[in-house]
Chains A and B, each alone.
Chain A
Amino acid sequence: GAVVSQHPSWVICKSGTSVKIECRSLDFQATTMFWYRQFPKQSLMLMATSNEGSKATYEQGVEKDKFLINHASLTLSTLTVTSAHPEDSSFYICSARDGDTVNQPQHFGDGTRLSIL
């Protein structure tokens, strides 16, 4: 149980393109989903917390107009990297919590490798 699916797994696109990444909880409802960024050989860096039906909460230093998050249903959150540039190239990972309480662990998707040329 507690499977999180992330799509696409790998994207290569030109500078200036907007890229949308989907995160789905397959067998549970996720009131809260999270978006992380991970650089090579480093730990995960939280970008934003996404709550179903409300605006996302962004971490300090993360541009909300650059990284648009939509959490329209209890099983789907999307991250759109707008006008992507080479410095946005990274590994983006979503997670979801099974249940409403903070004491439930987060389950992660398999990540999206974004390469901007």
Chain B
Amino acid sequence: QKEVEQDPGPLSVPEGAIVSLNCTYSNSAFQYFMWYRQYSRKGPELLMYTYSSGNKEDGRFTAQVDKSSKYISLFIRDSQPSDSATYLCAMNHYGNNRLAFGKGNQVVVIP
């Protein structure tokens, strides 16, 4: 079993819809959770960073962590064509530099 599972998609939604992405993980030691957005031929850009269970909101983005279920989610409200990108979840635990990444989820927002 991989440490982090993420359905690669692709996921197509109409403009204005809510995008829902998620990752599951197997290592209960993971404490720090990140969502990155990567446009084609660019490096990943940090969108959200959380370290406790619950919701964290930043503008149109909401990150959700459920440590008991080993499940994290990213929601994008009022999606825009500019949100079309690949979204990567990543996580690590204290004392370990290495980030465990999901495979990435390609999202296409159709105007």
A positions within 8 Å CB-CB of B: 2, 4, 6, 32, 34, 41-44, 46, 49, 91, 93, 95, 102-103, 105-111, 113
Contacts and interface: CB of A to CB of B under 8 A. Distances in A.
B59 interface: no
A111 B103 contact: no
A43 B92 contact: no
Contact of A102 (B8, B36, B41, B94): B94
A105 B46 contact: yes
Nearest to B45: A108
Contacts of B97: 32, 34, 49, 102
Interface residues of B, number: 25
Interface string B70-111: 000000000000000000100010111111011110000000
Contacts of A44: 44, 88, 101
A102 B43 contact: no
A108 B43 contact: yes
A46 B96 CA distance: 13
B89 to A, nearest CB: 10
Nearest to A112: B43
A34 to B, nearest CB: 7
Nearest to B101: A43
Given A103-B31, A105-B49, A46 B99 contact: yes
A28 to B, nearest CB: 13
A108 B34 contact: no
B32 interface: yes
A41 B95 CA distance: 30
A94 B35 CA distance: 17
Contact of B103 (A34, A43, A109): A43
Contacts of A34: 97
A34 B98 CA distance: 9
